[in-house]
Structure 1
Amino acid sequence: MLSAKSLFQEILDDDDAFRLFCSIAASGESQGGWENGRIAALVPRTLRDLAPKITRHGADEDKHGRIFNALLKQRGLEPVVVPYETDYTLLLERHGIGLAHDQLNRDEPLSERDIIVYLAHSRVTEQRASEQMQLLRRHFADHPALGRAVKMISRDEDNHLAYCHEELLRFARAGHGRTIQNVLRECALAEIRVYRDVSLAVMSHMGTVLRWPRAKAAVLAAGIHGMYAYERLAGWRRMVSLEAPARRDALGGPATPEAEYA
């Protein structure tokens, strides 16, 4: 029977599949760390109080990249080059979602609207990340090799999502509500398309590595298309709602000191 747990167990049990999975994850997290670092450096003077939180966000993403690389190292594996069509972060940027890299490479302060765009983009992508890590935590929290990493990253992703909700609500109270909703909707609709395409590409590569029969690959592809249809119809709305998080100031203060995962 096909299930999220059985599929990931297949990946976990095969060195080549696990290497591809961790390489894709590490690349995306490291890219997110760079983006947040640049945004923190370019925050406008009027919003400098946000810079430490953005820096903390980036530091967490960098840590996650190191964790995935450490998981590879534990098994004596080296990262592989990430196929273009599986690069979620890069493809979002190529579709105009979030702040463009050429803008972040310039030493020009961002505008208030740029920060709103960054937070809206993060609110959408952190929703996805939080849900994915909750799924892995549900099935693999007690796994001897993976459990600690899954719980650590899942906690961070939940904090990132709470931070995005809180900061966007603060901007909404300041009169930016319509802009926030427009940007959130645009980001969400683009994200679900990119996520579908990346999911199909990842499953295709995994199918080749794991030698899945054609029928199994077809069932998985149909499931991905079905999820996209649901998200295109109504599921995207969960990515654009805003509510006060249970945990306030989730990224306030310095990153929590803890031993690097190794």
Structure 2
Amino acid sequence: MLSARSLFQEILDDDRSFRLFCSIAASGEAQGGWENGRIAALVPPSMRDLAPKITRHGADEDKHGRIFHALLRKRGLDPVEVPPETDYTMLLERRGIGLAHEKLHRDEPLTEQDILIYLAHSRITEQRAADQMVMLIKYFGDNAEVGRAIRMISNDEDNHLAYCHEELLRLAGEGHGRTIQRVLRECALVEIQVYHQVGLAVMERMGRLLGWPAPKAALLAAGIHSVYAYERLAGWRKMVTLTMPERRDALGGPATVAPVI
């Protein structure tokens, strides 16, 4: 029977698919670490109180990248080049989501509007990351090889999501509510499209590596299409809703150390 558990177990058990999975994940986390580091360095003077939290966010992302690389080393595997069609962060940037790398490469202070856009973008992508980690914990949280890493990353993603909610609500209270809702909706609709595109590309690559028969590949593609249809119809609303989190000041301290894999 085809299920999310059996699908991920198949990917986990094969060195080639596991190598691709970890390489894609490590690349995305490293990119997020760099982006947050640059944003922290360029925060406008009026919002300097956010710089330590953005720095912590970037440090967590860097740590996640190291964790995925450590999982590869544990199997004696080297990372592979990430296929462009599976590069979630790059494709989001090309669609205008988040802050352009051209801007981050300059040594010019960002604007308050830039930081608002960054937080709104992060609220969307961290929701995606948190949801994915919840699913992985459900199936592999107790797995001897990857369980500890998954649990740590999931806790960090929950912190990142809580931080985005809290800071955006604070900015909304300062009069930016309409702008925040507009940016959130725009980001969510584009992110859903990119996630759909990347999901199909990753499954196509995995199918080739694992030799999936055409009916299985077609069934998985249909599942990805159905998720996309739901998110376009109603699921995007979850991504744009802001609620005060139970975890307050979730990024107020230093980043935790990566576990020994």
Query: Aligned with 1:97: secondary structure?
Result: coil
Q: Which amino acid letter does the alignment assign opposite residue 143 of structure 1?
A: N
What residue is the counterpart of 1:9 in the other structure? 9
SS in 2 for 1:38: helix
Q: Are 1:200 and 2:191 matched, yes or no?
A: no
Alpha-carbon shift at residue 3 of structure 1 (Å): 1.1
Q: Which residue of 1 aligns with 2:105?
A: 105
Cα distance change, pair 60–259 in 1 and its aligned pair in 2 (3 A) = closer
1:175 maps to 2:187: no
Counterpart Cα distance in 1 of 2:51 and 2:253? 11
TM-score, with normalisation over the residues of structure 1? 0.99
**Partners of 1:253 and 1:84 in 2: CA distance:** 35
C-alpha distance in 2, partners of 1:55/1:95?
25
Q: Can you list the C-alpha shifts for 1:71-114, whole angstroms capped at 9, x where unaligned?
A: 00000000000000000000000100000000000011000010
The verdict on how the C-alpha distance between 1:33 and 1:79 changes in structure 2, with shifts beyond 3 A counting, is: same
- How big is each residue's C-alpha offset from its partner over 1:36-55, in whole Å with a ceiling of 9 and x where there is no partner? 00000000000000000000
Q: Deviations over 1:185-205 (max 9, x none)?
A: 000000000000000000000
Distance 2:239 2:260 in 1: 30
CA distance in 1 between counterparts of 2:258 and 2:250 reads: 20
* Contact 2:67/2:258, CA 8 A, preserved across alignment: no
Q: Which residue of structure 2 lines up, in the alignment, with residue 211 of structure 1?
A: 211
Q: CA deviation at 1:254?
A: 1.6
Output one character per residue of 1:29-71: Cα deviation in whole Å (capped at 9) or x when no partner: 0000000000000000000000000000000000000000000
Where in structure 1 do 4 or more consecutive aligned residues deviate above 6 Å?
Answer: none
What does 1:111-190 correspond to in 2, within 5 Å?
Answer: 111-190=111-190
1:11-50 matches, cutoff 5 A:
11-50=11-50
| Paired residue type of 2:49 | D
CA distance in 1, matches of 2:32, 2:247: 23
Query: Once the 2 structures are TM-superposed, how far is the Cα of residue 207 of structure 1 from its aligned partner?
Result: 0.2
State the one-letter code of the partner of 1:99.
L
In 1, Cα distance between equivalents of 2:158 and 2:30: 18
2: CA distance, partners of 1:249 / 1:214: 48
Unaligned runs of 5+ residues in structure 2 are: none
The corresponding residue for 2:70 is 70
User: How far does the alpha carbon of each residue in 1:125-173 deviate from its partner, in whole angstroms, 9 at most, with x for none?
Assistant: 0000000000001111110011100000000000000000000000000
Q: Give the Cα–Cα distance (whole angstroms) in 2 for the partners of residues 260 and 108 of structure 1.
A: 36
For 1:260 and 1:230, locate their aligned partners in 2 and report how far apart those are by CA, in whole Å: 37
**Structure 1 vs Structure 2 CA RMSD:** 0.7
Identify if the C-alpha distance between structure 1 residues 178 and 259 changes in structure 2 by more than 3 Å, giving closer, same or farther. Answer: closer
Q: Partner of 1:245: helix, strand, or coil?
A: coil
Distance, in Å, in 1 between the alignment partners of 2:35 and 2:69 is 19
CA distance in 2, matches of 1:58, 1:259: 14
Separation in 1, partners of 2:255, 2:224: 36
TM-score (norm 2): 0.99
1:59 aligns with 2:55: no
Whole-angstrom CA distance in 2 between matches of 1:251 and 1:76: 34
Residue number in structure 2 paired with 1:261: 260
- Secondary structure of 1:222 counterpart: helix
**Count of matched residue positions in the alignment of Structure 1 and Structure 2:** 261
Residue 87 of structure 1: aligned partner:
87
Report the 3-state secondary structure (helix = DSSP H, G, I; strand = E; otherwise coil) of the residue aligned with 1:234: helix
Displacement of 1:259 after TM fit? 5.0
Following TM superposition, by how much is the alpha carbon of 1:260 offset from its aligned partner in structure 2, in angstroms? 4.0
